[in-house]
Structure formats: C-alpha cells, structure tokens
Amino acid sequence: MVYQNENCFRLNHLENSWDIETYVANGGYEVWKKVVSGELEPADIIEEVKESNIRGRGGAGFPTGLKWSFMNREAPGQKYIVCNSDEGEPGTFKDRDIHRYNPHALVEGMAIAGYVIGASQGYNYIRGEFWEPYQVFKNAINQAREAGFLGKDILGSGWDFDLHVHLGAGAYICGEETALIESIEGKKGQPRFKPPFPASYGLYGKPTTINNTETLASIPMILAKGGKWFNDLGVKNAGGTKLYSVSGHVNNPGNFEVRMGTPFKDLLELAGGIWKGRQLKAVIPGGASTAVLPAEKALEMNMDYDSIAKAGSFLGAGSVIIMDDQTDMVKAMKNLSHFYWDESCGQCTPCREGTGWLYRMLTRIVDGKGRPEDIAALKDVSGKIMGNVICGLGDAATIALTSAVEHFEHEFVHYIEHGCSIYDRT
C-alpha cells in the first residue's frame, strides 16, 4: 500500500482546504501558539527539525535543521526568513499546489522558522505567473493577521512577525537563492558568489535563511507530531514524505505526496502508468537539471536521495518527467537546451556562450545537418561549462544532455548519419 498525503497535502481532500477555519479545525497554528508562548524553544525546535531528517525540498537537499543552526538568533540587527516559491524548473509544479491548497501551512512554517532564526520579517518570493496562488496566499496572510497570528505582539507574546510577498517577472534564474535576493532588492537576478552564504550575508546584506516552499510548509506537522514521526516515515538519509510532480507521458499527471523511499514503480502507477498503452523509455527523476535514466534503471529505483543517486541521477525537486518509447531523445534534448540558453543570466562566459553552442548544435542535428564531430563537440562544450561557472544553472545545462548522450548515443549518431530520427524510418 502506498501512503499518501500525510503532510503538506493532508487537507487537500477537504472543501476550502485553503481557509483558516479548515486549517485551525485540523490543528493548524497550534504549534505556532506553543512557540510564541515560549513552550517550544528555538533550540528545541532546531533539534526536532534535525531529528526529522528533512532536507531542502528546493532540490539541493541541504539539511534544514543544520541550515537554521547557522543563524545567530541573539545577534542584534534585522534578519530575514525568505521562502523560495519561484518554481521554474521544467517538470516542477508542487509549490503552486501548496499555495493553492494549504497556504496556512506555509504561513505557519515561515512564522516558526522566522522565530527560530530571530527574523521579524519574512518574504515569500512567488513567481509572477502564479497569480492565483499569490491571491490565495495573500488571503491566508490577511486571515492570519486578523486572527492575531501575524503582526505586532503576537498573541500577547511581545514577538512581532510579518509576511510580505515579492512577485517575480519571468526569470528562472531567480530561483537560485542569491539571484532571488538580488531580485527582491530590485535588481537583475544575477547570482552572487557563494560563500558568503545568505546566513551571513543575505537580503539587504542581513543574515537570511532561504528555504523552499515545501520545506517550510512541512515544518508545522513535523513539530506537531515530532521529528521522529517524520523521520520514520521515510528511509535512511531521507526523512519523511515528499511531493513528487509527475508529468510527461503518463495517463494521470499530477502531484503525489508519498513517503520517501516509495518505489518508482508505485509512483508511476499512481500517475496512471504510461499513456496510450506504450512502454517506458526514460525518466528524468528530479527536474530538468538532473540526469536522464533509461527505463530499466528507473524501474528498479526507489524515490529517495540514495536510491536515485545509485541509479545515476538525483532526486532534485522531485520532478519526475516520464518519456514513452516513442520519444525522440535528440529533440527532447534540443528542447531542454533551449531552456537553459534562454534562461542563462549571462554573467559567466562558459554558460552564456556554451548554452548557445549546445542549442545550436542540437538544432543543426535535428535539422538533418549534423556533423560527425558533433557528438564529441557536445561533450566538449559541456565539459567546459561544468564546474567553471558561478551557479548551478550552467552545470544543470549539461547534466541531462550528457546523460542522454551516454544512454542513447545511437539516436544522436543516427540523426547525424541519416539526417533524421530513428523514428522517421519508413
């Protein structure tokens, strides 16, 4: 049996799950009350979060409890909690649904995180296209304020905390945490060098903690039921539940909240199996930034960090892109390469120029004008980007492509030799 909807999506089946009444009727804001009343101390919260073994759900998988412990709560001066809801990785659409169906979990999670790190102000960076999710979230902020859960002197505790939204305007790179900070500051979203990490130099130069939407929305339940509860839902090295966005060639695409370590096969079944009665060809398990896996490897893996790594890819943001046995891998990679070329912020030469090279070469191959040396050139350009750039976008631009060439090289060769796809044979 596959367990579903035990944390962020636990209210999704209820009518008006986005409403504060529903949330409160189901135990919402109880943790927050304990926090502001001093019953739950910041140090204890960090211990619980560490014990839960939750790792950053934005894709990098950094342990959340550890990240929070980098902040010095008692240090004087403004600090910030920032939520990353820029969600732009092709294949990723989970944070949108957290906003739409459980916005109060996010409000409560941000408030708790803010308290723990000593931040009286929080920003939720929502991508500008998410107008409806933004409206739902804004309504949740207003409801929480009215109920006295946000604002000045919360529930008579003497603690102030308020939430704001910053809307993006169509730039994937702003999901990278330092680009996101630049963007809130009213600048182009170009990543900064790390270190310094945001914990020491963040928004407006102040100590800042940035977490993904799903990470923060998971916190209230972790503290309500205990870190151990959450950890035990998952597997070694991967505590809890995770939202998986399943898209592509399945009958029933969508978000599924399941336990870490759920077999890929079971997830595929939840998503209705491969469409049109076809067979599975390949899977990108963690969003466009992660390596492509051929069917036989994917079918053996479980959905957790270690198992996916063993299969040769990465859990990333849990964005599972399914490709059926009619998928032209070369064209699919051309599509991905266009994305990175379009979204490169342009400040590192290898990324700015290299992503253009990759896209142009793949276009040429698909157009039937590929040259024998092109496969080596794709590898060569990828190698020159990898590791020689400021942020993860440049590296990501090469990862899926390199793995596709590794596993499906014959398709690239066929294109170059025959000027058409293996599926074009008549």
Ligand X SMILES: Cc1cc2nc3c(=O)[nH]c(=O)nc-3n(C[C@H](O)[C@H](O)[C@H](O)COP(=O)(O)O)c2cc1C
Chain positions contacting ligand NAI, by CB under 6 A: 56, 58-60, 62, 67, 70, 87-89, 92, 175-177, 194, 197-199, 210, 286-287, 289, 316-317, 391-392
* Cis preceding-peptide flag for 294 (omega within 30 of 0): no
Question: Is residue 143 within a helix (H) or strand (E), and if so which, with residue range?
Answer: helix 131-146
Residues between 182 and 201 with contacts to another protein, criterion CB under 8 A:
183-189
Contact (CB, 8 A) for 299 and 43 = no
Which of 7, 31, 48, 87 touches ligand X (CB under 6 A)?
87
Closer CB to ligand NAI, 263 or 392, in the complex: 392
Write out the H or E segment, with its range, that includes residue 358. Answer: helix 349-366
28 binds another protein (CB under 8 A): no
The backbone torsions φ and ψ at residue 324, rounded to the nearest 5 degrees and listed phi first, read: -85, 175
Residue 344's binding partner among another protein, ligand SF4, ligand X, none (Cβ under 5 to 8 angstroms by kind) is ligand SF4
* 165 lies in the binding site for another protein (CB under 8 A): yes
Q: Output 57 or 249, the one with its CB closest to ligand NAI.
A: 57
Q: How many CA atoms lie within 13 A of 56 on its CB side?
A: 18
Chain centroid to CA 371: how far? 37
* Cross-strand pairs, 330: none
Q: In Å, how far from its chain's centre is CA 23? A: 24
**Rounded Cα–Cα distance for residues 48 and 65 (Å):** 8
318 binds, among ligand X, ligand NAI, another protein, none (CB under 5 to 8 A by kind): none
Report helix, strand or coil for 248: strand
> Is the Cα torsion angle 38, 43, 44, 50 positive or negative in sign?
positive
Q: For the chain, how far is it from start to end, CA to CA, in angstroms?
A: 44
Provide the minimum distance between the beta carbon of 237 and ligand NAI in the complex, in angstroms, as a whole number: 16
DSSP 277-320: G--EEEEE-SSTTS--EEHHHHTT-EESHHHHHHHTS--TT-EE
Which listed option, ligand X, ligand NAI, ligand SF4, none, makes contact with residue 423 (CB within 5 to 8 Å by class)?
none
Near another protein by CB under 8 A: residue from 5, 120, 157, 335: 335
Minimum separation from the CB atom of position 59 to ligand X (A): 5
Task: Select from another protein, ligand NAI, ligand X, none the partner in contact with residue 253, using the beta carbon and a kind-dependent cut-off of 5 to 8 Å.
Answer: another protein
Name which of ligand X, ligand NAI, another protein, none residue 93 binds, using a CB cut-off of 5 to 8 Å depending on partner kind.
Answer: another protein
Choose, by CB under 6 A, the member of 62, 70, 131, 204 that binds ligand X. Answer: 62
Report the C-alpha gap between 75 and 320 in whole angstroms.
Answer: 41
Q: For residues 310 and 360, which CB has a smaller minimum distance to another protein in the complex?
A: 360
- Is 273 among the residues that bind ligand X (CB under 6 A)? no
Omega into 196 within 30° of 0, i.e. cis?
yes
Encoded one letter per residue, x for contact with ligand SF4 by CB under 6 A and - for no contact, window 335-354 reads ---------xxxxx--xx--
Q: Decide: is 370 part of the binding site for ligand X (CB under 6 A).
A: no
Task: Enumerate binding residues for another protein (CB under 8 A).
Answer: 78, 87-93, 95-96, 127-132, 164-172, 183-189, 204, 245-249, 253-255, 284, 288, 319, 321, 323, 327, 332, 335-336, 338-339, 342-343, 345
